[in-house]
Structure 1
Protein backbone atom coordinates (compact mmCIF):
# COMPACT_ATOMS: atom_id res chain seq x y z
CA UNK A 1 0.00 0.00 0.00
CA UNK A 2 2.82 2.39 0.83
CA UNK A 3 4.50 1.71 -2.52
CA UNK A 4 1.29 2.65 -4.33
CA UNK A 5 1.02 5.87 -2.33
CA UNK A 6 4.65 6.72 -3.09
CA UNK A 7 3.97 6.26 -6.81
CA UNK A 8 0.87 8.45 -6.58
CA UNK A 9 2.93 10.99 -4.66
CA UNK A 10 5.55 11.11 -7.42
CA UNK A 11 2.85 11.44 -10.06
CA UNK A 12 1.17 14.31 -8.21
CA UNK A 13 4.44 16.17 -7.69
CA UNK A 14 5.55 15.76 -11.29
CA UNK A 15 2.17 16.82 -12.69
CA UNK A 16 2.06 19.76 -10.27
CA UNK A 17 5.50 21.02 -11.28
CA UNK A 18 4.64 20.56 -14.96
CA UNK A 19 1.45 22.61 -14.59
CA UNK A 20 3.20 25.34 -12.60
CA UNK A 21 5.68 25.81 -15.44
CA UNK A 22 2.87 26.50 -17.97
CA UNK A 23 1.87 30.06 -18.89
CA UNK A 24 -1.80 29.81 -17.98
CA UNK A 25 -3.12 31.14 -14.67
CA UNK A 26 -5.62 28.29 -14.37
CA UNK A 27 -2.89 25.69 -14.92
CA UNK A 28 -0.77 27.45 -12.30
CA UNK A 29 -3.60 27.13 -9.78
CA UNK A 30 -4.17 23.48 -10.67
CA UNK A 31 -0.44 22.79 -10.27
CA UNK A 32 -0.42 24.39 -6.82
CA UNK A 33 -3.44 22.30 -5.86
CA UNK A 34 -1.73 19.09 -7.03
CA UNK A 35 1.40 19.95 -5.05
CA UNK A 36 -0.77 20.51 -1.98
CA UNK A 37 -2.47 17.13 -2.39
CA UNK A 38 0.91 15.48 -2.93
CA UNK A 39 2.18 17.03 0.28
CA UNK A 40 -0.87 15.73 2.16
CA UNK A 41 -0.14 12.21 0.91
CA UNK A 42 3.53 12.63 1.88
CA UNK A 43 2.55 13.54 5.45
CA UNK A 44 0.16 10.58 5.47
CA UNK A 45 2.87 8.15 4.33
CA UNK A 46 5.42 9.49 6.82
CA UNK A 47 2.90 9.02 9.65
CA UNK A 48 2.81 5.24 8.99
CA UNK A 49 -0.23 3.56 7.56
CA UNK A 50 -1.96 1.18 9.94
CA UNK A 51 -5.17 -0.52 8.96
CA UNK A 52 -7.85 -1.10 11.56
CA UNK A 53 -5.99 0.46 14.51
CA UNK A 54 -7.35 3.67 16.01
CA UNK A 55 -5.08 6.59 16.92
CA UNK A 56 -6.24 6.31 20.53
CA UNK A 57 -4.14 4.33 23.00
CA UNK A 58 -5.69 2.89 26.14
CA UNK A 59 -4.51 4.70 29.26
CA UNK A 60 -3.84 1.43 31.08
CA UNK A 61 -0.87 0.62 28.81
CA UNK A 62 2.53 1.59 30.17
CA UNK A 63 4.31 0.44 27.01
CA UNK A 64 2.92 0.40 23.47
CA UNK A 65 2.18 -3.23 22.71
CA UNK A 66 0.48 -2.90 19.34
CA UNK A 67 0.89 -0.84 16.22
CA UNK A 68 -1.26 2.26 16.37
CA UNK A 69 -2.00 5.13 14.00
CA UNK A 70 -0.21 8.37 14.80
CA UNK A 71 -2.85 11.12 15.23
CA UNK A 72 -0.49 14.07 14.61
CA UNK A 73 -0.11 13.58 10.82
CA UNK A 74 -3.85 13.06 10.54
CA UNK A 75 -4.51 16.36 12.32
CA UNK A 76 -1.91 18.11 10.13
CA UNK A 77 -3.57 16.78 6.98
CA UNK A 78 -7.02 17.93 8.10
CA UNK A 79 -5.62 21.39 8.82
CA UNK A 80 -3.85 21.46 5.45
CA UNK A 81 -7.06 20.50 3.66
CA UNK A 82 -8.95 23.40 5.25
CA UNK A 83 -6.16 25.87 4.49
CA UNK A 84 -5.82 24.69 0.89
CA UNK A 85 -9.59 25.01 0.40
CA UNK A 86 -9.46 28.62 1.59
CA UNK A 87 -6.43 29.38 -0.57
CA UNK A 88 -8.03 27.77 -3.62
CA UNK A 89 -11.30 29.65 -3.23
CA UNK A 90 -9.44 32.96 -2.81
CA UNK A 91 -7.25 32.22 -5.85
CA UNK A 92 -10.28 31.38 -8.01
CA UNK A 93 -11.91 34.71 -7.17
CA UNK A 94 -8.62 36.52 -7.76
CA UNK A 95 -8.07 34.80 -11.11
CA UNK A 96 -11.60 35.65 -12.19
CA UNK A 97 -11.00 39.32 -11.37
CA UNK A 98 -7.65 39.38 -13.18
CA UNK A 99 -9.21 37.72 -16.22
CA UNK A 100 -11.97 40.34 -16.24
CA UNK A 101 -9.42 43.17 -16.17
CA UNK A 102 -6.79 41.78 -18.56
CA UNK A 103 -9.02 39.69 -20.85
CA UNK A 104 -6.37 36.98 -21.05
CA UNK A 105 -5.31 33.86 -19.22
CA UNK A 106 -1.65 34.23 -20.22
CA UNK A 107 0.77 35.12 -17.42
CA UNK A 108 3.08 36.94 -19.85
CA UNK A 109 0.37 39.52 -20.54
CA UNK A 110 0.47 40.56 -16.89
CA UNK A 111 4.18 41.46 -17.02
CA UNK A 112 4.22 43.55 -20.18
CA UNK A 113 2.97 47.13 -19.92
CA UNK A 114 0.60 48.42 -22.56
CA UNK A 115 2.76 51.50 -23.20
CA UNK A 116 5.09 49.65 -25.59
CA UNK A 117 3.23 50.99 -28.64
CA UNK A 118 5.10 54.31 -28.53
Structure 2
Protein backbone atom coordinates (compact mmCIF):
# COMPACT_ATOMS: atom_id res chain seq x y z
CA UNK A 1 0.00 0.00 0.00
CA UNK A 2 2.81 2.41 0.85
CA UNK A 3 4.51 1.84 -2.53
CA UNK A 4 1.33 2.70 -4.42
CA UNK A 5 0.84 5.75 -2.21
CA UNK A 6 4.41 6.94 -2.77
CA UNK A 7 4.13 6.36 -6.52
CA UNK A 8 0.90 8.38 -6.66
CA UNK A 9 2.55 11.29 -4.86
CA UNK A 10 5.61 11.07 -7.12
CA UNK A 11 3.57 10.94 -10.33
CA UNK A 12 1.40 13.87 -9.26
CA UNK A 13 4.45 15.93 -8.30
CA UNK A 14 6.42 15.18 -11.46
CA UNK A 15 3.38 15.84 -13.68
CA UNK A 16 2.76 19.11 -11.85
CA UNK A 17 6.35 20.26 -12.28
CA UNK A 18 6.26 19.34 -15.97
CA UNK A 19 3.06 21.34 -16.46
CA UNK A 20 4.40 24.35 -14.55
CA UNK A 21 7.26 24.54 -17.04
CA UNK A 22 4.85 24.77 -20.00
CA UNK A 23 4.35 28.13 -21.79
CA UNK A 24 0.56 28.44 -21.46
CA UNK A 25 -1.12 29.80 -18.34
CA UNK A 26 -3.84 27.13 -18.14
CA UNK A 27 -1.19 24.40 -18.07
CA UNK A 28 0.57 26.25 -15.25
CA UNK A 29 -2.67 26.36 -13.23
CA UNK A 30 -3.23 22.63 -13.72
CA UNK A 31 0.40 21.98 -12.70
CA UNK A 32 0.04 23.98 -9.49
CA UNK A 33 -3.20 22.14 -8.75
CA UNK A 34 -1.51 18.75 -9.24
CA UNK A 35 1.31 19.73 -6.90
CA UNK A 36 -1.20 20.86 -4.28
CA UNK A 37 -2.95 17.46 -4.60
CA UNK A 38 0.41 15.74 -4.09
CA UNK A 39 1.09 17.83 -0.99
CA UNK A 40 -2.40 17.02 0.33
CA UNK A 41 -1.76 13.31 -0.14
CA UNK A 42 1.59 13.66 1.61
CA UNK A 43 0.03 15.47 4.59
CA UNK A 44 -2.76 12.89 4.71
CA UNK A 45 -0.16 10.11 4.74
CA UNK A 46 1.60 11.59 7.76
CA UNK A 47 -1.41 10.55 9.84
CA UNK A 48 -0.56 6.88 9.15
CA UNK A 49 -2.49 4.84 6.64
CA UNK A 50 -5.23 2.80 8.28
CA UNK A 51 -8.03 0.81 6.76
CA UNK A 52 -11.18 0.39 8.83
CA UNK A 53 -10.02 2.21 11.98
CA UNK A 54 -12.24 4.98 13.36
CA UNK A 55 -10.90 8.55 13.70
CA UNK A 56 -12.99 9.12 16.85
CA UNK A 57 -12.48 7.41 20.22
CA UNK A 58 -15.07 4.73 20.93
CA UNK A 59 -16.35 4.20 24.49
CA UNK A 60 -16.36 0.43 24.14
CA UNK A 61 -12.71 0.12 23.08
CA UNK A 62 -9.67 0.81 25.20
CA UNK A 63 -8.04 4.21 24.84
CA UNK A 64 -4.96 3.21 22.88
CA UNK A 65 -3.68 5.67 20.23
CA UNK A 66 -2.61 2.75 18.02
CA UNK A 67 -6.27 1.78 17.53
CA UNK A 68 -7.29 5.09 15.94
CA UNK A 69 -6.42 7.16 12.90
CA UNK A 70 -5.03 10.65 13.52
CA UNK A 71 -7.74 13.24 12.69
CA UNK A 72 -5.37 16.25 12.58
CA UNK A 73 -3.88 15.54 9.10
CA UNK A 74 -7.41 14.93 7.81
CA UNK A 75 -8.53 18.34 9.01
CA UNK A 76 -5.39 19.99 7.61
CA UNK A 77 -6.03 18.44 4.20
CA UNK A 78 -9.65 19.57 4.25
CA UNK A 79 -8.51 23.12 4.98
CA UNK A 80 -5.86 22.91 2.26
CA UNK A 81 -8.45 21.77 -0.28
CA UNK A 82 -10.63 24.81 0.44
CA UNK A 83 -7.66 27.20 0.26
CA UNK A 84 -6.42 25.54 -2.95
CA UNK A 85 -9.83 25.93 -4.57
CA UNK A 86 -9.92 29.64 -3.66
CA UNK A 87 -6.37 30.12 -4.96
CA UNK A 88 -7.24 28.42 -8.25
CA UNK A 89 -10.32 30.60 -8.70
CA UNK A 90 -8.28 33.76 -8.02
CA UNK A 91 -5.57 32.67 -10.47
CA UNK A 92 -8.18 32.03 -13.17
CA UNK A 93 -9.60 35.53 -12.73
CA UNK A 94 -6.14 37.11 -12.92
CA UNK A 95 -5.23 35.07 -16.00
CA UNK A 96 -8.51 36.00 -17.71
CA UNK A 97 -7.72 39.67 -17.05
CA UNK A 98 -4.20 39.20 -18.40
CA UNK A 99 -5.54 37.57 -21.55
CA UNK A 100 -7.97 40.44 -22.02
CA UNK A 101 -5.20 43.02 -21.68
CA UNK A 102 -2.46 41.27 -23.66
CA UNK A 103 -4.44 39.10 -26.07
CA UNK A 104 -2.23 36.11 -25.26
CA UNK A 105 -2.22 33.32 -22.72
CA UNK A 106 1.54 32.80 -22.72
CA UNK A 107 3.30 33.02 -19.38
CA UNK A 108 6.23 35.00 -20.76
CA UNK A 109 4.05 37.68 -22.40
CA UNK A 110 4.67 36.46 -25.95
CA UNK A 111 2.12 37.83 -28.40
CA UNK A 112 1.47 41.07 -26.52
CA UNK A 113 -0.79 43.64 -28.24
CA UNK A 114 0.94 46.80 -29.34
TM-score bin, normalised by smaller chain: 0.7 to 0.9
In structure 2, the CA distance between the partners of 1:57 and 1:94, relative to structure 1 (3 Å rule), is same
For 2:7, the equivalent position in structure 1 comes to: 7
Higher Cα Rg: structure 1 or 2?
Answer: 1
Unaligned runs of 5+ in 1: none
Runs of 4+, deviation exceeding 2 Å: 58-63
Unaligned runs of 5+ in 2: none
1:91 CA drift (Å):
0.8
Aligned length: 113
For 1:55, the equivalent position in structure 2 comes to: 55
Contact 1:2 1:45 (C-alpha < 8 Å) held by counterparts: no
In structure 2, the CA distance between the partners of 1:82 and 1:96, relative to structure 1 (3 Å rule), is same
For 2:29, the equivalent position in structure 1 comes to: 29
Q: Matched residues in 2 for 1:19 and 1:66: separation? A: 40
TM-score by length of 2: 0.87
Q: Matched residues in 1 for 2:37 and 2:81: separation? A: 8
